Amino acid sequence: MIHEKGKLIMHIQANYDHILQEGQNLQQQAQDCRSRIRQLAATMEQTAEIWQGEDCQTFLSQARSLQPHLIRLTEIMSQYGDTLIRTAQIYRQLQQDRAAQAARLL
């Protein structure tokens, strides 16, 4: 922030490559989480084959009820990653367009 004669002027600068990379990282993390959720579900089902009783059924019921929420969370992560990627691409294109327009003024 810059102070100029009692005025507060904000200077915002975006690193589009960083935003793009973070979007890609978030998408990869979402994919990794989905894979882990599937692995965990498979492990729980295998455990159910040897762990018998009401406590097993209660545990599995609770864990299964969480699975759709966890999957939804990974979908949101992936969508946010998409948004970051698109935003970086749009802003980069906007900067290029403005630079081209400015060059035509000269």
* Domain parsing of the chain, residue ranges: 13-96
- The pLDDT, as a whole number, for residue 106 is 72
What fold characterizes domain 13-96? Answer: Helix Hairpins (1.10.287)
- The pLDDT, as a whole number, for residue 28 is 98
Which pTM value belongs to this model?
Answer: 0.75
* pLDDT exceeds cutoff 80 at 12: no
d(CA 22, CA 62): 33
- For 30-68, write each residue's pLDDT tens digit: 999 999 999 999 999 898 889 889 999 999 999 999 999
Within a 10 A sphere around the Cβ of 16, how many other Cβ atoms? 16
- The pLDDT, as a whole number, for residue 37 is 96
In order of 6, 61, 96, the CA distances from 55 in angstroms are 67, 10, 61
First to last CA, the chain: 30
Question: What is the CB-side half-sphere exposure of residue 90 using CA atoms within 13 A?
Answer: 6
* pLDDT exceeds cutoff 70 at 72: yes
* pLDDT exceeds cutoff 90 at 13: no
C-alpha R_g of the chain: 24
Mean of the pLDDT values across residues 75-81? 98
- For 17-32, write each residue's pLDDT tens digit: 999 999 999 999 999 9
